[in-house]
Amino acid sequence: MNCDETLNLLDPFVDGELPEQERGTVQQHLDGCPSCQHELRQINELRETLARTPRYVAPDSLESDVHEMLAMAADQPATRPSWGRWMKPMTTHAAAAMLGALFFYGALQPSSAPTMPMREIVAAHVRSLMDDRLTQVRSNDTHNVGPWFAGKIDFAPAVYDLNAKGFPLLGGRVDYLHDKKVAALVYLRRKHRINVFISPETGTQTKKWLQTSHNGYNIVGWHDRGFQYWAISDLNPKELTEFSKLAVAQ
């Protein structure tokens, strides 16, 4: 069993839903794979955090208020017969959706649990530090690293020359993040390696700057000139943010 197969089975493995033989196969892989062990720890940490998260308790009046809204919407006469057939179910569905949103928002709002993208970013970073997987093209010359991506991904990432700023380029590679191929650039700050994951922007960008930490790693996210960037390292937050702002200034 390889890593991809194991990762797909981790959730049912944790839930105890796998047959005994398949569970043993997953456990055997986990025993010899630090990367998948790290993923398992992330799942367990997330579940423990959610278990500790206070749940929103709806007031007793909420149910009666919603029923009253539904009754009013159902009994309201239509002023335009041609629209009446459509507006009544739309109104009642909207009220039901609002109720669902209230419960969902209330349950999740207090949580500070890390999101799945953060877990994926950390996992990709950790994988790259194992078994000499950090770079597929090794060079501190942007003119070597940039063209290397041609034909390997469907976009051309900007490769920044920050050697003079104290962040020498080590090289790059193609990685897999958020269900798609991304460019990964690798920089160095003293002995701290910085992975920068780059992908084209989608319709769900982060705010201009997002700074967080997870499992001992600092992460800075930003979007610039049509691309989404995630920089991750065990470098301290101040210098990682400095690195990110230097990249944007290029």
- What single string gives the DSSP state of each residue in 177-223? ETTEEEEEEEEEETTEEEEEEEEE--SSPPPSEEEEEETTEEEEEEE
CB 95 within 8 A of CB 73: yes
Residue 212 near residue 188, CB atoms below 8 Å: no
Q: pLDDT at position 63, please?
A: 64
Q: Which residues of 88-98 are buried (b: 16+ CB within 10 A; e: fewer)?
A: eeebeeebeee
| 5-16 pLDDT tens trace | 888 788 888 888
pLDDT of 112 reads 37
Is 116-249 a domain of CATH 3.30.70.2190?
no
Main-chain phi, psi angles of 225, to 5 degrees:
50, 45
pLDDT in tens, 60-80: 566 666 666 676 665 555 455
Tokens coding 142: 């942007």
Separation of alpha carbons 115 and 117, rounded Å: 6
For the cut 80, the answer to whether the pLDDT of residue 219 exceeds it is yes
165 vs 81: which has the higher pLDDT: 165
Confidence of residue 186 (pLDDT cuts 50, 70, 90): very high
- For residue 183, what pLDDT is reported? 95
* Residue 78, token pair as written in the block: 């239509």
Q: What is the model's pTM?
A: 0.54
pLDDT by residue (tens digit) across 89-125? 544 555 555 555 444 444 444 333 344 478 889 988 9
Amino acid (one-letter) located at 71: A
pLDDT reported for residue 61: 60
Helices (H) and strands (E) in the chain, counts: 8, 7
